Chains A and B, each alone.
Chain A
Amino acid sequence: MNLVLTWLTDPAHWAGEDGVPHRILEHLTYSAVALVIAAIIAIPLGLYVGHTGRGKFLVVNVAGAARAIPSLGLLFIMVLLLGPRLSGDAAFVVPCLVVLAVLAVPPILAGAYAGVEEVDASARDAAKGMGMRGLQVLLEVELPCALPLIFSGLRSATLQVVATATIAATVGLGGLGRLLIDGLAVRDFGQMAAGAVLVAALALAVDLIFALVQRYAVSAGLTGRRTASRRSRPKASADSTLITIS
């Protein structure tokens, strides 16, 4: 513990190219780009499957199977496959983003799909019966009602991606993983431990931001008067969703 504190409180570690702020920025950039890509793929796909009921089997199985893919192994395969076709940093950045996105897709997909699937059937029936067209039913009823589960999927994916983005350092990129890899190389356990603590803290901080956004984005009618006691629930329900789906 002392080692960590000593390392973290050393001002030399907080400045420059390999200073903590810059590493955090790199780490967040990889994570954010990967999450945005994953969300662009998984949310519309999940909504579509939930709305139409088509491809349910595929989503359930792909989402389950994809979670078993080892990230580090996939990263090396991607670097070998894509690396030669790309130049400069991209040879490593792109494979890295692919791996992180692959990691993020299943929980987001499962959340979006389950969210729409679980919308009260009578609300859906009423929406259609009052003359909403398919897309209106989706955007005006199903999507807003699915938001709590979509958020749990996103938060679950975010935690995994932020934690896993350390692997970027294994192929020579930046991010907080550098602290771990470089620390290991020179047997600086203080630095390694500090890196681990920072990754954990970053993941929690990002989750907190998501929690705040969720409170404003989700209708009070869905969270109800139980807002206070429910704040901890979305994460738990995301996990249970994933378990039932895989």
Chain B
Amino acid sequence: MIRFDSVSKEYPDGTVAVGGLEMTAPTGKITVLVGPSGCGKTTSLRMINRMIEPTSGRIWIDDRDTTTMDAAELRRGIGYVIQQAGLFPHRTVAANIATVPMLLGWDRKKARARALELLERVGLPTSFADRYPSQLSGGQQQRVGVARALAADPPVMLMDEPFSAVDPVVRDQLQDEFLRLQGDLGKTIVFVTHDIDEAIKLGDQVAVLRVGGKLAQIAEPARLLGHPVDDFVADFVGRDRGYRGLGFQRAPKLPLAAETTARLGDSAEQVRAAAGTEPWTLVVDEGRRPLGWVNTEQVAGTVSSEVLHRGGTVASTNGTLRNLLDAALSSPARRGVVVDEDGTFAGTVLAHQVLDAIESERAAAAAAQPAGSAAR
């Protein structure tokens, strides 16, 4: 557990970067600090490992006051991941990962073995061990940065916008893998980002800071979206928060409709005969995994992958209401494709069925929680 005890940082010119921050980052959870630029989120993070010294207040890690510890010793016990990865260009990937173990005096062999183990952990081949950072892509460098922070197995990790310098597709992938990794490791993580979507996706709790380093609200993502405490937080979490909030609600079991399906290579006549008057037919592969929709009236010759309409998203039976609604809304046939956990086609739903499910959940929630008890 990391606890901020009325922590302030004021610069000699009178700028207050952080003003009396009171906050707790619980053990084994991801706490995300988010806010506009100048809100002191990075300053707050960097005060934890004393890269910046607070002007007043204390920061506790479990029951230890960080200000009483030797700064270098403190930092060796805290994983540190930064935006540009900050890899040492003159050292190989393995040597980079082994930095903290070597500082702690591990022997070379053990440190290298640990580096190779971590490379695999972060999803990189061990053949990367003897490459130099300049030979890696930005996303790969960032993975090495995470591996390096994990090397000595620190209980606490600080991450300062670690995924913001990579492209959106890679970022999404890194975020998913980060969550999977955290699922295994259960570190106490403080994570800084300026991206509210990233905060909501990754955070077990999200702390929204306003300019001047004041805590505006700290809450679980769903609560933050559902009950922002003031206009600042409401503005910051964004306009479509009602819709995004559905991303935190598991999809209930809905009655799924069966669907006529076709395969790649089926002739146009076959498809039309099976579809009847229905303009769209779902195309699946040999494993009954959905590939896309085909327009029954327009298809000529045989069904090929070029004529598939791939605009529709696919929801999983164990997904969220947001996935389910989006699948229905994005489908050209207006029927959202739902798959089982193994990816095989399970059936389709209509948007109004999803909305009905949302309405009944809300009604049930309102009945369970008397009106006016909207806590922060």
Contacts and interface: CB of A to CB of B under 8 A. Distances in A.
Interface stretch (A7-15, A124-132, A182-190): A124-132
A224 B134 contact: yes
Given A131-B75, A222-B89, A126 B100 contact: no
A221 B100 contact: no
B313 to A, nearest CB: 37
Interface in B285-344: none
B89 A123 contact: yes
B90 A125 contact: no
Given A220-B132, A222-B90, A122 B85 contact: yes
B249 interface: no
Contacts of A219: 89-91, 132
Nearest to B79: A130
Contacts of A124: 86
A219 B87 CA distance: 14
A230 interface: no
A134 B91 CA distance: 19
A219 B89 CA distance: 8
Given A130-B99, A131-B75, A141 B82 contact: no
A86 to B, nearest CB: 44
A130 to B, nearest CB: 5
Contacts of B91: 219, 221
B82 to A, nearest CB: 6
Chain B interface category by residue count: 20 to 34
B80 A126 contact: yes
A218 B145 CA distance: 23
A225 interface: yes
Contacts of B273: none
A50 to B, nearest CB: 16
B82 A129 contact: yes
B126 interface: no
B128 to A, nearest CB: 13
A198 B76 CA distance: 56
26 contacts: A120-B84, A125-B51, A126-B80, A126-B82, A126-B85, A127-B88, A129-B80, A129-B158, A130-B75, A130-B76, A130-B100, A130-B103, A131-B75, A131-B100, A131-B103, A133-B72, A144-B90, A145-B90, A219-B89, A219-B90, A221-B89, A221-B91, A221-B134, A222-B90, A224-B132, A224-B134
Interface of B: 49, 51, 72-77, 80, 82-92, 99-100, 103, 132-135, 145, 148-149, 158
Counting from the closest, the 4 A-B pairs by CB-CB distance are A221-B132, A126-B86, A131-B76, A122-B86
Given A130-B75, A131-B73, 7 more contacts: A123-B86, A129-B82, A130-B100, A130-B149, A131-B76, A218-B90, A219-B90
